[in-house]
Amino acid sequence: MNPTEKLLNSLRPFPPQEAFFMAHARRIAYGGARGGGKSFAMRAKLVLLALNYPGIQILLLRRTFPELRENHINPLRHWLKGIATYRDSTKEFTFPSGSRIKLGYLNEEADVLQYQGQSYEVIGMEEATQFTESQYYAMTECCRLYGRLKKPFVPRMYFTCNPGGVGHAWVKRLFIDRDYRGGERAEDYVFIPSTVYDNRYLMSENPEYVRTLENLPPLRRRAMLEGDWDAFEGQYFTEFDRARHVAEPFEIPKGWLRFGALDYGLDMTCCLLFAYPPDRSRLVVYRELYESDLVLSEAARRIRALVGEEDVRYLAASPDLGGRRQDGGKTGFDILRAGGVKGLCPADNARIPGWRRVREFLRAEGAEGVPYLTIFPNCKNLIRTLPRLTFDSHSAEDAALTPHELTHAPDALRYGLSSLPFLPTAPLAEEEAPWDLLREFYGRSGREEYLDFMKK
């Protein structure tokens, strides 16, 4: 057997690794948890490509050099002995066929510059969540035909990943949430999940490692062992569980009460619509508007379209809309009202009590083990950003204001829940109804009217 045959014979991928080898989308991600055989799969796939496509140019990246050496340079030197030559000065393996595997690392944001103008048919990013989004985009520009390939080939990128890290958000958006923008096409992205339990080598040879993962604190365990992308350190709403809180949509029954919440900004306008049954046994967020660059009059149009003919009782909106604007001394509320938005009222913007309320609603059980608060899947941005909100590093209980992009939908949710005259865990006793709140929000004046209203 020659060295190549020997190597090929020794590679025995387990099922998710096999799926990774077989995938041929333009962006293929693998893993999602610790010990799922990610580095092995990446290495093996790149070697297979180098052998199968004479002349192919491949770049494999890690965040730091020590990781690169440990995870790839050393193992590849071992695998490729007698198959390809390694040159340490350029960190590349060259095959007699003209194929090349170059290894690199991107420690600093600016390290991408060294690849500017270069072309690789295949780029692998190991532990992709360690890279920033802009590093990822910079590398996509290098992923193109180099020109020495003898067979047709569509340039691709391969990723391995774990939840957490600076790149958590972009990796999750592309491969887990599958929320595509601009020219991104869903069919170009494939995610192949794999956990330590799929790795029969580790399971049999290193059971202590598996036990270590099983003994991690709950959140870290969920992220590292189970590959749960909604659980990562620093997460503000650890209560949020996509599998439970995102529920099958249904037609809102007649008689349910509807209201809305609006977080307005020129950078992003987020409006959420809520509904609950008269017995207040649950609450759903059933529709969202999420759009950037809307001036107030346009926002008014979009909100009217969002609400349609529905009886949305009130819209709790960012209180700063009450401030007078330079253009003509009108307030934001005035402009929205003039644009036909009904039921506007200033939201309660007390952040910490508001967040506590959100937590309360997320935690509460509704009937039959269903969470009290559920979100319809079409409210994509709320579902995407709520679990990504992190703790503020300066205030023990507040949510971080950055990345700003993550704050809009959670703020709207907070406004909405803060406007409610009841909590899920402690339904309001009739005699305790906060009449001034009700008057302000519902325009009702007395207990009878309120109870009557709640029954409708």
Ligand X SMILES: Nc1ncnc2c1ncn2[C@@H]1O[C@H](COP(=O)(O)OP(=O)(O)O)[C@@H](O)[C@H]1O
Q: How far apart are CA 228 and CA 34, in angstroms?
A: 11
| Residue 34 interacting with ligand X (CB under 6 A) | yes
| Residue 130 interacting with ligand X (CB under 6 A) | no
Residues 264 and 318: beta-carbon distance below 8 Å: yes
Q: How far is the CB of 10 from ligand X (least distance, A)?
A: 8
Q: Nearest-5° angle of CA 410, CA 411, CA 415?
A: 115
Interacting partner of 35 out of Mg ion, ligand X, none (Cβ under 5 to 8 A depending on kind): ligand X
Among 13-21, 55-63, 250-258, 354-362, the segment contacting ligand X (CB under 6 A): 13-21
Q: How far apart are CA 356 and CA 239, in angstroms?
A: 12
Q: Are strands 312-317 and 257-263 parallel, antiparallel or unpaired?
A: parallel
| Residue 419 interacting with Mg ion (CB under 5 A) | no
Query: Which member of 57, 99, 130, 199 binds ligand X (CB under 6 A)?
Result: 199
Nearer to ligand X, 229 or 333 (CB): 229
Q: How far apart are CA 121 and CA 100, in angstroms?
A: 10
Residues 315 and 345: beta-carbon distance below 8 Å: yes
Among 197-205, 253-261, 339-347, 353-361, the segment contacting ligand X (CB under 6 A): 197-205
| Residue 194 interacting with Mg ion (CB under 5 A) | no
| Residue 13 interacting with ligand X (CB under 6 A) | yes
Buried b (16+ CB within 10 A) or exposed e, 159-174: bbbbbbbebbbbbbbb
Nearer to Mg ion, 223 or 375 (CB): 223
The position carrying tokens 């809520």 is 274
Q: How far is the CB of 202 from ligand X (least distance, A)?
A: 5
Footprint (CB under 5 A) of Mg ion, residues 34-73: 38-39
Q: How far is the CB of 201 from ligand X (least distance, A)?
A: 4
Residues 95 and 53: beta-carbon distance below 8 Å: no
Q: How far is the CB of 14 from ligand X (least distance, A)?
A: 6
Among 35-43, 303-311, 340-348, 378-386, the segment contacting ligand X (CB under 6 A): 35-43
Q: Are strands 344-346 and 312-317 parallel, antiparallel or unpaired?
A: parallel
Query: Which member of 7, 20, 27, 36 binds ligand X (CB under 6 A)?
Result: 36
Q: How far is the CB of 331 from ligand X (least distance, A)?
A: 55
DSSP 336-349: HHHTT--SEEEPP-
Burial of 175 (0-12, 13-18, 19+ CB in 10 A): buried
Query: Which member of 16, 32, 37, 416 binds ligand X (CB under 6 A)?
Result: 37
| Residue 176 interacting with ligand X (CB under 6 A) | no
| Residue 39 interacting with ligand X (CB under 6 A) | yes
Q: How far apart are CA 221 and CA 238, in angstroms?
A: 13
The position carrying tokens 């609603």 is 361
| Residue 235 interacting with Mg ion (CB under 5 A) | no
| Residue 35 interacting with ligand X (CB under 6 A) | yes
Footprint (CB under 6 A) of ligand X, residues 200-229: 201-202
| Residue 269 interacting with ligand X (CB under 6 A) | no
Q: How far is the CB of 358 from ligand X (least distance, A)?
A: 35
Q: Provide the 10 A C-beta neighbour count for residue 276.
A: 21
Q: Provide the 10 A C-beta neighbour count for residue 421.
A: 16
Among 141-149, 194-202, 270-278, 377-385, the segment contacting ligand X (CB under 6 A): 194-202
Nearer to Mg ion, 62 or 156 (CB): 62
Q: How far is the CB of 377 from ligand X (least distance, A)?
A: 30
Q: How far apart are CA 284 and CA 52, in angstroms?
A: 53
The position carrying tokens 């010990």 is 35
Query: Which member of 21, 40, 53, 264 binds ligand X (CB under 6 A)?
Result: 40
Instruction: Name the site residues for ligand X (rule: CB under 6 A).
Output: 12-14, 17, 31, 34-40, 199, 201-202
